[in-house]
Structure 1
Amino acid sequence: MPTSDAQRKAAELQRQLAALTGHDQATVKPYGKHLLVQMQRDDTVDTIARLTEVGRNIYTSAFRSHTGRWEPLPGTGNLAETTDLVVSLLAPYFNPDI
């Protein structure tokens, strides 16, 4: 079961994603030290990105490629900075109409 801190950070990330994308179809699931960013599409849920806390409020991010491997994205930062980076780099994946 995720800690209350992980759940709080997941909720904060989900709010930031909604603000940046303009919709609420992106959800966040805490998974250990990771925050998994998922998109609801019809009857499926696609995990498209992962943010990992590597220091006190310092995050890295990775993209789930078509092979299922996690490919690191450039840059690190606090949760807001990393969220902005992920949304910028992966904008097509956040399109709810795909």
Structure 2
Amino acid sequence: MPTFDAQRKAAELQCQLATLTGHDQATVKPYGKHLLIQMKRDDTVDTVARLTEVGRNTYTSAFRSHTGRWEPLPGIGNLAETTDLVVSLLAPYLDPDI
């Protein structure tokens, strides 16, 4: 079961994603030290990216490739900075109409 802190950070990330993308179809699931960014499409949920806490309020990010492997994205920062980077780099994957 995710910790209260992990659930709080997942909710914060989900709010930031909704603000940056303009929709609420991106959801966040806490998974250990990771925050998984998922997109709801029809009856499926695709895990698009993950943010990993590597220090106190310091995150890295990775993209889930078509092979299922996690490919690191450039940059490191706090939750807001890393979220902005992920939305900028992965905008097509976070588009609800695709």
TM over 0.5: yes
Q: Is 1:85 equivalent to 2:52 in the alignment?
A: no
TM-score (norm 1): 1.00
Question: How many residue pairs were aligned?
Answer: 98
Task: Find out whether 1:3 has 2:3 as its counterpart.
Answer: yes
Map 1:1-98 to 2 at 5 A.
Answer: 1-98=1-98
Shift of 1:64: 0.1
Residues 14-68 of structure 1 show CA distances to partners (whole Å, capped at 9, x for unaligned) of 0000000000000000000000000000000000000000000000000000000
Deviation at 1:70, TM superposition (A): 0.1
Shift of 1:84: 0.1
Aligned AA (1:8): R
Structure 2 gaps of 5+ residues are: none
Q: TM-score, normalised by structure 2?
A: 1.00
Query: How high is the sequence identity, in percent, across the aligned residues?
Result: 90
Structure 1: how far apart are the matches of 2:92 and 2:54?
27
Q: Distance in 1 between the 2:76 and 2:24 partners?
A: 24
Q: Distance in 2 between matches of 1:96 and 1:69?
A: 22
CA RMSD for the aligned pairs? Answer: 0.2
Distance 2:95 2:31 in 1: 24
Q: State the SS of the aligned residue for 1:75.
A: coil
